[in-house]
Structure 1
Amino acid sequence: MSALKKQISDAMKAAMRAKDKQTLGVVRLILAELKRIEVDERIELDDARVLATLDKMSKQRRDSISQFEEAGRNDLADSERQELEVIKTFLPQPLTDEEITAIIDAAVASTGASGMQDMGKLMAEIKPQLQGRADMGTVSKLVKSRLAG
């Protein structure tokens, strides 16, 4: 079992002991998604894949929050925010804009990317370093502006 998955299992046990139903529900949701992936793909998840799954789940929550707020459903948006906060506890510390820019600059130097045709190669280099630590949509915009300018 990966270290991150074990940490999530331990969090479930702690939430059960503390009778924290909100956290328990979200942690069970995370574990169910991880188990679904393992069963569907017949693999044992490693930390990188668990992190990618958590990142995807947090992105889904952020999208839901914006849609609920546009629809005036603040009660549902608040529920999604609470779920997002629990998911964030398992993600690594987010990177600052300066750190992201430094990683992009280092990747540009190592790959020799010079134009938009190199974007895929550059993103493939950057994504493993930033997974779960930065919003990849924002990173993509930064890479586009770096390659265009």
Structure 2
Amino acid sequence: MSLLDTLNQDMKQAMKNKDKQKLSVIRMLKASLQNEAIKHGRELNEEEELTVLAREMKQRKDSLQEFEKAGREDLVAGLQDEIAVLTPYLPKQLTEEELHEIVAQTISETGAASKADMGKVMGALMPKVKGKADGGLVNRIVQQQLS
């Protein structure tokens, strides 16, 4: 079942349950997916859907950090709810140990030896962990292993 089909089913269920928060988040996500499909001029494949989903999650996490810094607890609670609604649609996230293994393997595959090779490593690594790990965490682990 595609992500759009799952979202449609969950949207119907949210309507029946009168869950306005979940309904709103699902509608925003569907709109983002449909806008991306229009931009590409075709249906999205699974990887493209994952990219849109990851982008939506990243936007919310970035906003959450900013609101926490500004002390806007009223907005923090709403964003945490939105993140909770989006999380089940993301693939299972990799643990730090799994990331360390993948990074080490990619470094050996690319023959990277120093931080100067960081771009080469990240270019090879990101497609492997796309949607399964936070880019900032991946970046930090690569820097640790290349130093």
Equivalent in the alignment of 1:26: 25
Unaligned runs of 5+ in 2: none
Q: Distance in 1 between matches of 2:105 and 2:4?
A: 31
Give secondary structure in 2 for the equivalent of 1:89: helix
Kindly indicate whether the alpha-carbon contact (under 8 Å) linking 1:5 and 1:47 is maintained by their aligned counterparts in 2: no
| Residue identity in the other structure for 2:100 | T
Equivalent in the alignment of 1:135: 134
Q: 1:95-144: per-residue Cα shift (whole Å, max 9, x none)?
A: 11100001101111222222223222211222122122211111111111
Equivalent in the alignment of 1:120: 119
Report the Cα offset of residue 40 of structure 1: 2.1
Alignment root-mean-square deviation, CA: 1.5
Structure 2 counterparts to residues 27-106 of structure 1, below 5 A:
27-106=26-105
1:7 aligns with 2:18: no
Report the Cα offset of residue 62 of structure 1: 1.1
Q: Give the share of equivalent positions with the same residue, in percent.
A: 37
Unaligned runs of 5+ in 1: none
| Residue identity in the other structure for 1:19 | K
> If the length of structure 1 is used for normalisation, what is the TM-score?
0.91
Kindly indicate whether the alpha-carbon contact (under 8 Å) linking 1:108 and 1:122 is maintained by their aligned counterparts in 2: yes
Q: Report which stretch shifted further, 56-65 or 125-134.
A: 125-134
